[in-house]
Amino acid sequence: MSVPKIVVVGGGAGGLELVTRLGRRLGRRGRAEIVLVDRSPTHIWKPLLHEVATGALDSGLDEIAFPGHARANGYRFQRGTLCGLDREQRRLQLAAVLDDEGQEILPARELTYDRLVLSLGSVSNDFGTPGVAEHCYFLDSPEQAEAFRHAMLNTFLRYSAAGQQQSPRLRVGIVGGGATGVELAAQLYDALLMLQTYGVTELDGSHLDVHLIEAAEDVLPALPERIRQAVRQELQGLGVQVHTATRVTEIDANAIHTADGQRLATDLNVWAAGIKAPDFLTQLDLTLAKGQRITVHETLQSIDDPNLFAFGDCASCPQPDGSTVPPRAQAAHQQAQLLYRNLRAQLDGKPLTPFVYRDRGSLISLAHFEAIGTLMRGASARRLFVEGHLAKFFYASLYRLHQRAIHGSLKTGVIVLVDGLNRFIRPRLKLH
């Protein structure tokens, strides 16, 4: 008798946590076949990509190889990109995998499934702004973050050489005042400080101009006012030029143009304004909501197919108050936990549980300079404001919780120890 086959497409934070739970509980015991599909062979926690982009985090040390993790946790890994879906036949199509030279290394394939889970995350939304695709870096993947890091290092070196004859100013434009844009702005000053410490460049923070541009009335518009004010004050103290209520109309090779007529000269640009689900979802004959997100019931089942589930940034899940679940890492973590239980319940013929999002608070890290945020005080929903070392501890613990979900407590403890040793024996910044 064949066992049910659950295919999860997308090995981001939520997807990897889900297949880990399913593999350990169902895959190892032969109760279900668990398959993870992802276009990349490795996983890294997306909220850390701004640290990869500045070299504060070495992706080579923190990434997880899917094949090894799959073998250790009772699921199978298939590398590929979803390009088609036949819901009637319960088949999905994977595009051929190509190497850097465009040569095929894996052919196009089909996979069958009994239950399909889409955990595809999100990508940056440029809203059709002219010049963004050509002149901006994005931070949607480790590859994009590494591309920016190389460009940043090369630009610092070039300007440092020019500084022997003059006093240059390195100008960076960051479009989007959400968490990614805010944290990247602070990390740039920290990176320049470290590069100067290691003798890579003679430039210091006084030579760096960072323009942080946000269309809303303030940075971090979704967060409480107290956090917004504290973060803005810290950024301005570092030297970041914060432009709020400012809409970008065009970007060219040398400047960012705004609706109020400003021309902000820049050497490097990063687009971190807005997200949407991947474009190919529009080709899968699924009902989509704003931002191309898959419309699902409270149980995380697609409204089009009870055997298809979606969660995380790519799903639009309704809530009792009429809102939808926000595209945040903590939401994906909570949904992965519920979906694990709902998939088991569906296989056992039991009713499914609706998802209710619990806001655990928000934390923003401004490199080594500061950390600021709020924590929710249990069921009272009262916010506890935290900053400084306490906020840094809670911020770091978010990643440790993710690691514990995919590695277990013992291995995560060893990882924490190894990370501490690496901070002692390795440079604080990736310098190559």
In order of 159, 190, 191, 392, the CA distances from 194 in angstroms are: 16, 6, 5, 19
Strand duo 104-106 + 97-98: pairing:
antiparallel
As a residue count, the chain comes to 432
**SS (HEC) of 215-275:** CCCCCCCCCCHHHHHHHHHHHHHHCCEEECCCCEEEECCCEEEECCCCEEECCEEEECCCE
Q: Determine the 3-state secondary structure of 136 from DSSP.
A: coil
User: Residue 381 has what pLDDT?
Assistant: 54
Q: Answer whether 370's CB lies under 8 Å from 387's CB.
A: yes
Q: Does residue 178 lie in a domain region? A: yes
Q: What is the CATH number of the domain that holds 166?
A: 3.50.50.60
Q: Same structural domain for residues 238 and 323?
A: no
* 355 lies in some domain: no
* The pair of three-digit structure tokens given for residue 287, joined into one six-digit string: 């009902």
Q: How far apart are CA 387 and CA 398, in angstroms?
A: 15
Q: Is 92 found in the same domain as 54?
A: yes
The answer to whether 23 touches 49, Cβ cutoff 8 Å, is: no
431: in domain: no
Statement to judge: residues 159 and 264 lie in one domain: yes
Q: Would residue 31 count as lying in a domain?
A: yes
In sequence order, which ranges of 34-120 are alpha helices (DSSP H)? 49-54, 59-62, 66-73
Domain assignment present for residue 353? The answer is: no
How far is the C-alpha of 15 from the C-alpha of 117, rounded, in Å? 9
CA distance 343 to 349: 10
| 313 and 368 housed in the same domain | no
Compute the distance between CA of residue 341 and CA of residue 327 in angstroms, rounded to an integer.
21
Number of folded domains that form the chain: 3
Token output for 274: 């807005």
Q: Residues 140, 32: one domain?
A: no
How far is Cα 85 from Cα 95, in angstroms, rounded to an integer?
12
Name the β-bridge partners of 33. Answer: 5
Shared domain check, 187 and 289 = no
pLDDT given for residue 173 in this prediction: 96
Q: Are 317 and 289 in contact (CB under 8 A)?
A: no
pLDDT value of residue 377: 55
pLDDT in tens, the chain (432 residues): 689 999 999 999 999 999 999 999 999 999 999 999 999 999 999 988 999 998 888 877 889 999 999 999 999 999 999 999 999 999 999 999 988 888 899 999 999 999 999 999 999 999 999 999 999 999 999 999 999 999 988 888 887 766 555 556 789 999 999 999 999 999 999 888 888 887 777 777 778 899 999 999 999 998 888 899 999 999 999 999 999 999 999 999 999 999 999 999 999 999 999 899 999 999 898 999 999 999 999 999 999 999 999 999 999 999 999 999 999 889 999 999 999 999 999 999 999 999 999 988 888 888 777 788 888 655 445 678 888 888 888 888 888 999 999 999 999 999 889 888 887 887 777 777
The predicted pLDDT at position 19 comes to 98
Q: Identify the domain boundary among 347, 370, 399.
A: 347
Residues 253 and 338 in one domain: no
- In this structure, the answer to whether residues 20 and 109 fall within a common structural domain is yes
**Residue 432 falls inside a structural domain:** no
115 & 139 share domain: no
Q: Among 218, 240, 271, where does a domain finish?
A: 271
Among residues 220, 236, 271, the one where a domain terminates is: 271
pLDDT at 26: 96
pLDDT at residue 92, rounded to an integer: 95
Q: Are residues 249 and 211 in the same domain?
A: yes
Rounded to the nearest 10 degrees, how much is the dihedral formed by the CA atoms of 49, 54, 60, 66?
A: 10
pTM value > 0.85: yes
Question: Has residue 104 been placed in a domain?
Answer: yes
Assess if residue 320 is contained within a domain. Answer: yes
Same domain, 115 and 147: no
Same domain, 94 and 180: no
| Domain region containing 415 | 361-425
